[in-house]
Amino acid sequence: GAVVSQHPSRVICKSGTSVKIECRSLDFQATTMFWYRQFPKQSLMLMATSNEGSKATYEQGVEKDKFLINHASLTLSTLTVTSAHPEDSSFYICSALGQGAEEHFGDGTRLSIL
Amino acid sequence: GQQVMQIPQYQHVQEGEDFTTYCNSSTTLSNIQWYKQRPGGHPVFLIQLVKSGEVKKQKRLTFQFGEAKKNSSLHITATQTTDVGTYFCAGSNSGNTPLVFGKGTRLSVIA
- A44:B88 CB<8 A: yes
- What is the band of B12 on the pLDDT scale with cuts at 50, 70, 90? very high
- What is the band of A114 on the pLDDT scale with cuts at 50, 70, 90? very high
Statement: residue A66 has pLDDT above 70:
yes
What is the pairing mode between strands A57-58 and A4-7? Answer: unpaired
Cβ contact A48:A94 at 8 Å:
no
- B96:A106 CB<8 A: no
What is the pairing mode between strands B85-92 and B71-76? Answer: unpaired
Supply the pLDDT for residue B96. 60
Contacts of B33 in chain A (CB under 8 A): 102-103
Supply the pLDDT for residue A1. 66
Statement: residue B23 has pLDDT above 90:
yes
Tell me the per-residue pLDDT of A80-99, one tens digit each, with 9 for 90 and over. Answer: 999 999 999 999 999 998 77
Contacts of A32 in chain B (CB under 8 A): 96
Contacts of A105 in chain B (CB under 8 A): 35, 42-45
- B45:A102 CB<8 A: yes
Tell me the per-residue pLDDT of A14-43, one tens digit each, with 9 for 90 and over. Answer: 999 999 999 999 988 888 899 999 888 788
Site from A102, A104, A107, A109 to mutate, B interface, most B CB atoms within 10 angstroms: A102
Statement: residue B104 has pLDDT above 80:
yes
| Cα A62 to Cα A67: distance, rounded to the nearest angstrom | 8
| Cα B94 to Cα A7: distance, rounded to the nearest angstrom | 29
Q: Which residues contact B35 (CB under 8 A, 6 or more apart)?
A: A105, B43, B44, B45, B46, B87, B88, B89, B90
Supply the pLDDT for residue A99. 73
Supply the pLDDT for residue A101. 67
3-state secondary structure chain B: CCCEEEECCEEEEECCCCEEEEEEECCCCCEEEEEEECCCCCCEEEEEECCCCCEEEECCEEEEECCCCCEEEEEECCCCHHHCEEEEEEEECCCCCCCEECCCEEEEEEC
- A103:B45 CB<8 A: yes
Q: What is the mean pLDDT of residues A2-19?
A: 93
More confident residue, A100 or A45: A45
| Cα A15 to Cα A35: distance, rounded to the nearest angstrom | 22
Three-class secondary structure of residue A21 per DSSP:
strand
Instruction: Name which of B33, B88, B98 is nearest A49 (Cβ-Cβ).
Output: B98
Instruction: Name which of A43, A97, A107 is nearest B101 (Cβ-Cβ).
Output: A43
Tell me the per-residue pLDDT of B28-60, one tens digit each, with 9 for 90 and over. Answer: 999 999 999 998 788 888 999 999 999 999 999
**A58 in contact with B, Cβ within 8 Å:** no
Supply the pLDDT for residue B95. 60
Three-class secondary structure of residue A10 per DSSP:
strand
Supply the pLDDT for residue B99. 81
Nearest CA in chain B to A59: B98
Statement: residue B20 has pLDDT above 80:
yes
- B41:A49 CB<8 A: no
Q: What percentage of chain B exceeds 70 in pLDDT?
A: 96
What is the pairing mode between strands A57-58 and B31-37? Answer: unpaired
Q: What is the mean pLDDT of residues A43-52?
A: 89
- What is the band of B92 on the pLDDT scale with cuts at 50, 70, 90? confident
